[in-house]
Amino acid sequence: MSNTNAPVPAGWYPDPSGAQQLRWWDGAQWTAHYAPLAGAAQQQVPVQPAQQPVQQPAYTQGYGQQPAYGQTYAPARPRLADGARIYNAYIWLVVALPFLSVVLLPFYQPHFDFVTSSDGSVVYNGSPLAMFGPMYFVIVGVGFLTYALSVMFAWLDYRELERVGVVRPFHWAWTFLSGLVYVIGRSVIVRRVAPGRGLVPIWVTIGLYVLSIVISFAWGISLVSSMMHSIPNMQNLGA
């Protein structure tokens, strides 16, 4: 005969309230984490156990063992239900916004004004502020704006992950350090709770970094070429 007092293992079960959704049972009680019912494995609704010993939850460190004296480990994150939505518009904006300034870079073409002096030497005759044209300040302003927007969209993405059932998502405040840090940390956490998924933002970021290097390199060559062509008698300089 089966032991009716055995604790029900942690997992996603139909919500006992009757709502058409799943609810996380942590092995001792119902939590406030929910997931869509569609696509998730249907399991028997656990019965609220009476007063009896229950299994201790696994821990994120120590491979499920009890923490050493004086240490505190956070409970392991429950796995998301199959089909749970882990991507949204906010994370793609966090990925793409830092590269907006690079897209504007080819439009920044400063003017160089070189002349030949009376002794035959080539000197720069332009203003020292010629490099700081309107497009320069547009690019700088866009850089500050995208930084602020990245922080805001990371916060919205953090809230969206909590809504779909991710326990303790990677904190959005890391975006103050760098949007790349948030993308990497977020992807690692999502990968843990949704095995086989979650790394697409990292691969997209890598692709954008490669593209930005190509654009910057091409712009640099164009800038040097423009400067060289502005020098008079360039053919005789190497003589």
Over the stretch 59-83, which tens digit does the pLDDT of each residue have? 444 434 444 444 555 567 888 888 8
pLDDT at 201: 96
Looking from the CA of 109 toward its CB, the CA atoms found within 13 Å total 8
Rounded Cα–Cα distance for residues 63 and 61 (Å)? 6
191, exposed or middle or buried, with CB in 10 Å at 0-12, 13-18, 19+?
Answer: middle
**pLDDT, tens digit (0-9, with 9 covering 90-100), for 221-233:** 988 887 777 666 5
Helix (H, G, I), strand (E, B) or coil at 53: coil
pLDDT at 74: 57
Rounded Cα–Cα distance for residues 92 and 200 (Å)? 10
C-alpha distances out from residue 120 to 116, 202, 220, 232, Å: 6, 55, 28, 10
Confidence of residue 32 (pLDDT cuts 50, 70, 90): confident
Rounded Cα–Cα distance for residues 157 and 97 (Å)? 14
E-state strands within 100-231 = 114-116, 122-124
CB 158 within 8 A of CB 28: no
Confidence of residue 118 (pLDDT cuts 50, 70, 90): low
CB 19 within 8 A of CB 2: no
Tokens representing 50 are 């009476």
Phi-psi bin for 197: left (phi > 0), alpha (psi -120 to 50), beta? beta
**pLDDT, tens digit (0-9, with 9 covering 90-100), for 176-227:** 999 999 999 999 999 999 998 999 999 999 999 999 999 999 988 988 887 7
pLDDT at 6: 63
**pLDDT, tens digit (0-9, with 9 covering 90-100), for 7-19:** 778 888 888 877 7
Average pLDDT value for the chain: 78
pLDDT at 65: 45
**pLDDT, tens digit (0-9, with 9 covering 90-100), for 127-174:** 666 677 788 899 999 999 999 999 999 999 999 999 998 999 999 999
pLDDT at 13: 81
Tokens representing 217 are 């390199």
